[in-house]
Amino acid sequence: MSSLQTLLAPSLSISFSSSNSKPRYSPLESLETCSSMAQLKQNHAHLTKLGLSSDNDAMGRLIKFCALSNDGDLGYALHLFDTLPHPDAFIYNTLIRGYLLRRQAADCIVLYLRMLQDSVLPNKFTFPCLVRACSVDGAVEKGAQIHAHVFKFGFANDGFCLNNLIHMYVDFKALENARKVFNKMPRRDVVSWTTLISGYAQLGLVDAAFEVFERMPERNSVSWNAMIAAYVQSNRFHEAFALFNRMRAENLALDKFVAASMLSACTGLGALEQGEWIHKYIRNKGIELDAKLATTIIDMYCKCGCLEKAYETFKGLTYKSISSWNCMIGGFAMHGKGEAAISIFKDMEKQGIVPDNITFVNILSACSHSGLVEEGRYYFQYMTRVHGIEPMMEHYGCMVDLLGRAGLLDEAKKLIDQMPMTPDVGVLGALFGACRIHGNFELGEQVGKRVIELEPNNSGRYVLLANLYVKAGRYEDMANVRRMMNERGVKKVPGFSVIELEGEVNEFIAGGRDHPESKEIYAKLDEMLDRIRAIGYVPCGAEGVVEELDEEEEKENPLNYHSEKLAIAFGLLKTKAGDTFRITKNLRVCRDCHHASKLISKVFDREIVVRDRNRFHHFKDGECSCKDYW
């Protein structure tokens, strides 16, 4: 029996003097139930009276509470540490963890150096914290030195240490070093493989990540999710769905992390039916609906064009986090329902939820998409006056967009001139777009050239400036813009549209004929165009006016064959009068398709919901929800 055990032996037993007596515990046992610093200090005093103020076991327990508990005090832990003549590895490790929990990474390394100076040998619990400290601090050189110490002190085969080293090198974006550690491991577990997959994914090397995934001897839900998330984050949604279906075929349970990744994939493709299936699965399996997953579900419904279900889900939440409120406000904003967004915001404030900067980005965006100029001005001032939130770049961008769309170009330019920071391409781009809409050629040319300087590889900026010149009849300048694009090797982003029907996602490109029902789709397209021509449809740019360049779908593909028209024709083939179908487009809807869609909704009695790069358009009975304000 140790000296400590001998000293405390009498108090280790529990005795009862009567039926009403309470058990008497040892001082060390009472430390296990310690819940406050006041209680800990009482225990400290008791241990000091017992002569244990220099005992590593007793003091180590005190230090552990102070350093690692939410109710602890790291300063007091360090005070106790300084009183110990010979602190052991457990105490050093505990304090290193304490520093790490508080993200004081540099202090972890300093304490480790003191540990070595005091000739205390590190153990396998020392290095994982030190490696993570280097990751947190971005300390590449120190990380390499700690790596060397892992081997020097004999932990070259410790899986926990090595997994942390792989993670560290992934954080440093040093995949070659991460791979070296991985390749030399005597035994690799699921964590080793999954960390490497995530590393490749973070650098956009998704195919390399998939090669690692395929080599895994065994996988768990974390590794499946890592690979699915890699596809989702790279906008490779079809591959995410293929992998998800393979996971289901192997009868693996869907957890909340995989569910969140797949809901994001559904959002990216506008795959409402599959998103609904996942939501139903979450409910039926009792998967925990935390704030992140709840927000992901709401976001999926909003961005798949089903605002009603988004709001129903939102209303059904027992606890609504700030992210849930922001998501719902943003959903109303992108659907052009500014008044509803403001109403939700007011409810949020009534319930005592403090808005953040994202809340006001969404509110100002809602005002912009709905043309609520006075309300936008009010909330732009309100966020600072009431909540002390200083406008950021995004807030200025929304205000410039709002004022510009409303034709208040002078006020928009004045706001830009008064910004406390240099306007970015988003802010200037909003003004540029407004100049084109309202025909302010002089200001538009000035801002357009500046925007191209800031974003020389964005084809849309060149197209917008060229179109401005077309409107002004300056065809030579338009040709110069085209020439500049060619010389710089700037390629236009190809437009595509996606429609989900009967659980199948169908993708169309302008003029594409790869779809198995291509013949029927083009026949329906011809019928569709004939019927809307009968009620007055004339393609935009076909009335003797020189056609503008079209960022969305180049003129090599005629207006009639734009991707959303093909998707609409397919939707008409697969639905009946009175039905609704939804289309997702990667770029902004062009004027011609917007005009045609309104007429198609009337002639064929369909509600057509289109999500473009900026917002939603609900076409019904010959009208659009945007009221042509887009």
CB atoms within 10 A of CB 624: 22
Q: In sequence order, which ranges of 285-356 are alpha helices (DSSP H)?
A: 291-303, 307-315, 322-334, 338-350
Q: pLDDT tens digits, residue range 205-233?
A: 999 999 999 999 999 999 999 999 999 99
- Distance between CA atoms of residues 48 and 584, nearest Å: 71
Which of the four pLDDT bands, split at 50, 70 and 90, describes residue 252?
confident
Residues linked to residue 609 through DSSP beta bridges, in sequence order = 582, 618
Burial of 314 by CB count in 10 Å (0-12 exposed, 13-18 middle, 19+ buried)? buried
Find residue 582's DSSP bridge partners: 609
Tens-digit pLDDT profile for residues 117-143: 999 999 999 999 999 999 999 999 999
Residue 462: CB atoms within 10 Å: 24
pLDDT of residue 7: 33
pLDDT at 437: 85
CB neighbour class for 541 (10 Å; exposed up to 12, middle 13-18, buried from 19): middle
How high does pLDDT run on average in the chain?
A: 89
> Residues 448, 429: contact at Cβ < 8 Å?
no
**Which two tokens mark 419?**
């910004």
Phi, psi of 494, deg, nearest 5: -70, 135
DSSP 321-335: -HHHHHHHHHHHHHT
Closest CA to 325 of 304, 351, 344, 350: 344
Largest CA distance in the chain: 107
The owner of tokens 């809807």 is 589
Q: What percent of the chain has pLDDT over 70?
A: 92
Choice among 296-305, 345-354, 472-481, 558-567 with the minimum mean pLDDT: 558-567
Q: Does the pLDDT of residue 29 top 80, yes or no?
A: no
Q: Is 361 helix (H, G, I), strand (E, B) or coil?
A: helix
Looking at residue 12, its pLDDT comes to 33
**338-350 and 373-385 are packed helices; what angle lies between their axes, rounded to 10 degrees?**
30
Give the N- to C-terminal CA distance of the chain in Å, as an integer: 82
pLDDT in tens, 511-523: 889 999 999 999 9
**Separation of alpha carbons 357 and 360, rounded Å:** 5
Q: What is the pLDDT of residue 629?
A: 66
Neighbouring-strand partners of residue 617: 610
Q: What is the pLDDT averaged over residues 386-404? A: 96
Instruction: Please check whether residue 60 is in contact with residue 92, taking contact to mean a CB–CB distance below 8 angstroms.
Output: no
Digit-coded pLDDT (tens) for 529-557: 999 999 999 887 533 333 444 544 444 34
pLDDT, tens only, 254-284: 899 999 999 999 998 889 999 999 999 999 9
Check if the beta carbon of residue 492 is closer than 8 Å to that of residue 554.
yes
500 phi, psi to nearest 5 deg: -110, 125
What integer pLDDT is reported at residue 556 of this predicted model? 39
What is the per-residue pLDDT across 165-192, written as a single tens digit (0 to 9) for each? 999 999 999 999 999 999 999 999 999 9
pLDDT computed for residue 27 by the predictor: 61
Residue-wise pLDDT tens digits, 96-118: 999 999 999 999 999 999 999 99
Minimum mean pLDDT among 57-61, 240-244, 326-330, 416-420: which range?
A: 57-61
What was the pLDDT predicted at 259? 94
pLDDT recorded at residue 630: 64
The length of the chain is: 630
Tokens of 136: 């947190």
Within its chain, how far is the Cα of 166 from the centroid? 24
SS (H, E, C) 562-586: CHHHHHHHHHHHHCCCCCEEEEEEC
The two three-digit tokens of residue 107, written as one number: 């202090």
Per-residue pLDDT at 481: 92
pLDDT of res. 26: 60
pLDDT at 230: 96
> Coil, strand, or helix at residue 13?
coil
Element (H, E) at 246: helix 237-249
Domain annotation for the chain: domains and CATH numbers = 49-187 (1.25.40.10), 391-493 (1.25.40.10), 496-538+557-624 (no CATH)
Phi, psi of 86, deg, nearest 5: -140, 70
How far is the C-alpha of 193 from the C-alpha of 190, rounded, in Å?
5
Residue 349 has pLDDT above 80, yes or no: yes
Lowest mean pLDDT among 68-77, 330-339, 550-559: 550-559
What are the pLDDT digits (tens) for 552-599? 444 434 667 889 999 999 999 999 999 999 999 988 888 889 999 999
pLDDT of 28: 66
